[in-house]
Structure 1
Amino acid sequence: MPEMHVGERHWSVSTGSNLLDALNQAGVAVPYSCRAGSCHACLVRCQGEVEDKQPDALSPAQRQDGWRLACQCQVIADVQVETFDPTRDGLPAKVVSTDWLSVNVLRLRVEPERGLRYRAGQHLVLWAGTVARPYSLASLPQEDPFLEFHLDCRHPGEFSDIARQLQAGDHLRLGELRGGALQYDPDWQSRPLWLLASGTGLGPLWGVLREALRQDHQGAIRVIHLAHDAGGHYLAQPLAALAASHPNLTVELWTAAELTQALAQLRLVSRQTLALLCGHPVSVEAFSKRLFLAGLPRNQLLADVFLPRG
Structure 2
Amino acid sequence: MPEVKVASQTIQVPQAGNLLDALLGAGIAVPNSCRAGSCHACLVRCLQGEPEDAQPDALSAAQRQQGWRLACQCRVADDLTVQVFDPLRDGRAASIVGCDWLTNDVLRLRLHPERRLAYQAGQHLVLWADAGIARPYSLASLPDADDWLELHIDCAKPGAFSTAARGFQLGQSLRLGELRGGALHYDPDWQARPLCLLAAGTGLAPLWGILREALRQDHRGPIQLLHLAGEPAAHYLAAPLHALAAQHPQLHIRLVTAAELPAALAELRLVSRQTQALLCGGPASVEAFARRLYLLGLPRNQVLADVFLPRA
TM-score range, shorter chain: over 0.9
- Residue 14 of structure 1 and its aligned partner are, at CA, apart by 3.9
Amino acid of the structure 2 residue aligned with 1:171: S
Structure 1 stretch displaced more, 56-65 or 179-188:
56-65
> Which secondary structure state, in structure 2, belongs to the residue aligned with residue 49 of structure 1?
coil
Structure 1 stretch displaced more, 21-30 or 176-185:
21-30
Aligned positions of 1:112-151 closer than 5 A: 112-129=113-130, 130-151=132-153
- Residue 38 of structure 1 and its aligned partner are, at CA, apart by 4.8
**What's the RMSD between the two structures over aligned residues?**
2.0
Which residue of structure 2 lines up, in the alignment, with residue 247 of structure 1? 249
- Residue 39 of structure 1 and its aligned partner are, at CA, apart by 4.8
- Residue 259 of structure 1 and its aligned partner are, at CA, apart by 2.0
Amino acid of the structure 2 residue aligned with 1:133: R
Amino acid of the structure 2 residue aligned with 1:148: E
Question: Structure 1 vs Structure 2: percent identity of aligned residues?
Answer: 69
- The answer to whether 1:172 aligns with 2:174 is yes
**Kept after mapping to 2: 8 A contact 1:31/1:134:** no
Cα distance change of structure 1 residues 34 and 180 upon mapping to structure 2, 3 Å threshold: farther
Which residue of structure 2 lines up, in the alignment, with residue 183 of structure 1? 185
**Kept after mapping to 2: 8 A contact 1:121/1:182:** yes
Which residue of structure 1 lines up, in the alignment, with residue 86 of structure 2? 85
Which residue of structure 2 lines up, in the alignment, with residue 281 of structure 1? 283
> Which secondary structure state, in structure 2, belongs to the residue aligned with residue 253 of structure 1?
strand
- The answer to whether 1:232 aligns with 2:234 is yes
Which residue of structure 1 lines up, in the alignment, with residue 295 of structure 2? 293
Deviations 1:225-273 (A, max 9, x none): 1111111110011100001110111111121112223223333231111
Cα distance change of structure 1 residues 293 and 116 upon mapping to structure 2, 3 Å threshold: same
**Kept after mapping to 1: 8 A contact 2:11/2:22:** no
**Kept after mapping to 2: 8 A contact 1:29/1:132:** no
**Kept after mapping to 2: 8 A contact 1:124/1:176:** yes
**In the alignment, which of 195, 198, 201 is matched to residue 197 of structure 2?**
195
Cα distance change of structure 1 residues 132 and 295 upon mapping to structure 2, 3 Å threshold: same
Pairs aligned (count)? 310
* TM-score normalised by L of structure 2: 0.92
Which residue of structure 1 lines up, in the alignment, with residue 51 of structure 2? 50
* TM-score normalised by L of structure 1: 0.92
Amino acid of the structure 2 residue aligned with 1:100: W
Cα distance change of structure 1 residues 299 and 173 upon mapping to structure 2, 3 Å threshold: same
Structure 1 stretch displaced more, 120-129 or 205-214:
120-129
**Whole-Å separation in 2 of the counterparts to 1:265 and 1:128:** 43
Amino acid of the structure 1 residue aligned with 2:271: V
Which residue of structure 2 lines up, in the alignment, with residue 8 of structure 1? 8
**Kept after mapping to 2: 8 A contact 1:41/1:178:** no
- Residue 94 of structure 1 and its aligned partner are, at CA, apart by 0.9
Deviations 1:34-83 (A, max 9, x none): 55545544432223232222223334443333222333333333332222
Structure 1 stretch displaced more, 117-126 or 100-109:
117-126
- Residue 23 of structure 1 and its aligned partner are, at CA, apart by 3.6
> Which secondary structure state, in structure 2, belongs to the residue aligned with residue 177 of structure 1?
strand
Cα distance change of structure 1 residues 147 and 73 upon mapping to structure 2, 3 Å threshold: same
**Kept after mapping to 2: 8 A contact 1:35/1:307:** no
**Whole-Å separation in 2 of the counterparts to 1:266 and 1:14:** 52
Aligned positions of 1:187-226 closer than 5 A: 187-226=189-228
Q: Which runs of 5+ in 1 are unaligned?
A: none
Structure 1 stretch displaced more, 223-232 or 32-41:
32-41
Aligned positions of 1:38-77 closer than 5 A: 38-46=38-46, 47-77=48-78
Which residue of structure 2 lines up, in the alignment, with residue 263 of structure 1? 265
Q: Which runs of 5+ in 2 are unaligned?
A: none
Amino acid of the structure 2 residue aligned with 1:198: A
Which residue of structure 2 lines up, in the alignment, with residue 95 of structure 1? 96
Which residue of structure 2 lines up, in the alignment, with residue 154 of structure 1? 156
